[in-house]
Amino acid sequence: MKVKRRSSQADVPSMAMGDIAFNLLIFFVILARAQDDSHLQWQPAAAEEINATGTAKVAVLIDNDNKYYVNGQQVGAAQIADEVDALLGNAPAGERIVLFKVHREAQALYFEPAIEAISEVGGDIVHVLEQKQE
């Protein structure tokens, strides 16, 4: 006697595609947030002449509590040079831009060691500022 083999279907239901995409997106957004510093509290200083900064691999930020962050991760003052050096790697001159975001009221005691650390590892500092209002 011949027994007919039954074929089973195992498709991903197309109804769930939107939900899958949604969850994937949430996953990548959270992953990207870890390197982002948009949640940190700081106010830029003003300057008369500012230019577009372009893209940079590294951003050093000093917030309104005088805490240091490299690409959104909190670090100590002594770690800035090593962290920036590791992120810049062997990038050639011109591609070693480091965005320097400092709260306008931060004191020299805090921002000068950071400037020194960045220039020590060959980073090209770009001070992130806002246009001075007349």
Footprint of other proteins on this chain (CB under 8 A)? 15-19, 21-22, 25, 29, 38, 44-53, 62, 97, 99-109, 111-113, 115-116, 119-120, 124-131
Is 21 or 86 the residue whose CB approaches other proteins more closely?
21
C-alpha distances in Å from residue 10, one per residue of 7, 13, 14, 23, 99: 10, 9, 12, 22, 51
At 40, list the tokens. Answer: 């940190």
Minimum gap (Å) between residue 69 Cβ and other proteins: 15
In the DSSP assignment, the letter for residue 79 is: G
Q: What is the C-alpha to C-alpha distance for residues 84 and 123, in angstroms, rounded to an integer?
A: 8
Is 42 or 83 the residue whose CB approaches other proteins more closely?
42
Minimum gap (Å) between residue 49 Cβ and other proteins: 7
Is 48 or 134 the residue whose CB approaches other proteins more closely?
48
Minimum gap (Å) between residue 134 Cβ and other proteins: 15
Q: What is the C-alpha to C-alpha distance for residues 60 and 45, in angstroms, rounded to an integer?
A: 15
